[in-house]
């Protein structure tokens, strides 16, 4: 499936792009959002970051004609502070982070992200990372698996699924996505199998988030990004599940409320001043037309904040 950038118009409006500004796309992917930012620049510059070398190679081709305006860096968005320091950039006028898995990654038979295609149990965004889903599924303890599926996938049947995995791998390793889906299905009660969403969706989410330390990286990024925005700069984050969205919402809110001292303190001792103004009181979601054109956008939520 062709990669379609999610909430594209909403992101461009949210970034409020100035033709001479400096912008950062911290999740380059296949370059859909980056291309639209680059088109709007004249004397400005765009920094693009991604840890997936395949994505970078494809995006480089897409962005070739804007080469003088665009700098592509292979790295993790949790390190944006260090990346900007290396490029001698003190502040930017806007940052965009799309936390979803791109369609080419989902459809790549070798990556193992999709529960609808047979592939090795990999699930790494960065192919050089040592930890794979195969190792987690086949070597982690039953309790560790249960905790991963429950915490990162919000899977209410995590104990049953972890037990089924432990029993199955006791006979032979679980090597492919299809084999894992079969195990998950076997552990689910009939009412769960009748649900609209795929029975393996939450488990696959939990494994992918854990293998790639997605929440840890997100927390680090949210701690740094607001401080590297110029005054009036915009921070746009697209999340795809409630764990991510909650982290983004809380991080934005914590920087709008000022003093964090206990209420019974007579004077402020923290010295914390508000640094963000939330633009989106409620997250922006795709309309019916976008969801029809791109079903994978259905769970997307865009939150926007501005540096004050």
Residues 6+ apart with CB under 8 A from 132: 121, 122, 123, 124, 211
CA distance linking residue 258 with residue 272, whole number of Å:
6
Residues 293 and 267 in one domain: yes
Q: Rounded to 5, what percent of the chain is helix, strand, coil?
A: 45, 15, 40
Find the domain containing 61 and state its range. 8-102+214-307
Residues 222 and 203 in one domain: no
CB 118 within 8 A of CB 178: yes
19-28 tens-digit pLDDT: 999 999 999 9
| Confidence band of 3 (pLDDT split at 50, 70, 90) | low
26-61 tens-digit pLDDT: 999 989 999 999 999 999 999 999 999 988 999 999
Average pLDDT over residues 237-245: 96
Residues 38 and 27 in one domain: yes
Domain-ending residue, one of 157, 189, 211? 211
Residues 232 and 205 in one domain: no
Percent residues over pLDDT 70 in the chain: 98
Looking at residue 216, its pLDDT comes to 96
How, if at all, do strands 92-98 and 276-278 pair? Answer: unpaired
Query: 115: which DSSP letter?
Result: S
74-105 tens-digit pLDDT: 999 999 999 999 999 999 999 999 998 877 77
Looking at residue 76, its pLDDT comes to 95
How many independent structural domains does the chain possess? 2
Other CB atoms within 10 A of residue 85 CB: 12
CATH of the domain at 51: 3.40.50.150
Sheet with 301-307, strands from edge to edge, namely 70-74, 45-50, 22-25, 92-98, 229-239, 301-307, 276-278
Q: What is the mean pLDDT of the chain?
A: 93
Looking at residue 270, its pLDDT comes to 72
Query: Is 172 exposed, middle or buried, given 0-12, 13-18 or 19+ CB atoms closer than 10 A?
Result: exposed
The verdict on residue 114 lying in a domain is no
**In what helix (H) or strand (E) does residue 45 lie, and over which residues does it extend?**
strand 45-50
CA distance linking residue 306 with residue 256, whole number of Å:
10
């Amino acid at each position: 499936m062709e990669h379609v950038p999610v909430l594209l118009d909403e992101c461009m409006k949210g970034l409020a792009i100035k033709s001479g500004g400096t912008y950062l796309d911290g999740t380059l992917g296949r370059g859909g959002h980056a291309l639209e930012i680059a088109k709007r620049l004249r004397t400005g510059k765009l920094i693009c970051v991604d840890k997936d070398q395949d994505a970078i190679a494809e995006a480089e081709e897409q962005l070739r004609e804007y080469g003088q305006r665009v700098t592509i860096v292979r790295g993790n968005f949790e390190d944006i502070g260090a990346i900007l320091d290396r490029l001698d950039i003190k502040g930017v006028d806007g940052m965009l982070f799309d936390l979803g898995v791109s369609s080419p990654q989902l459809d790549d038979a070798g990556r193992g992200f999709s529960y609808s295609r047979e592939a090795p149990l990999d699930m790494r965004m960065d192919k050089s990372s040592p930890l794979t889903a195969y190792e987690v599924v086949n070597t982690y303890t039953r309790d560790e698996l249960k905790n991963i599926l429950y915490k990162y996938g919000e899977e209410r049947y995590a104990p049953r699924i972890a037990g089924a995995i432990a029993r199955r791998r006791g006979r032979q390793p679980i090597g492919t996505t299809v084999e894992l889906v079969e195990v998950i299905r076997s552990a689910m009660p009939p009412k769960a199998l009748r649900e609209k969403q795929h029975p393996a969706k939450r488990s696959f989410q939990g494994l992918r988030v854990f293998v790639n330390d997605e929440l840890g990286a997100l927390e680090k990024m949210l701690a740094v990004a607001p401080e590297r925005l110029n005054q009036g700069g915009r921070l746009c984050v697209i999340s795809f599940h409630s764990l991510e969205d909650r982290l983004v919402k809380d991080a934005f809110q914590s920087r709008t409320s000022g003093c964090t001292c206990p209420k019974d303190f007579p004077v402020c001792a923290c010295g914390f001043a508000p640094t963000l103004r939330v633009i989106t009181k409620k997250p922006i979601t795709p309309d019916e037309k976008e969801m029809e054109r791109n079903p994978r956008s259905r769970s997307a939520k865009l939150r926007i904040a501005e540096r004050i």
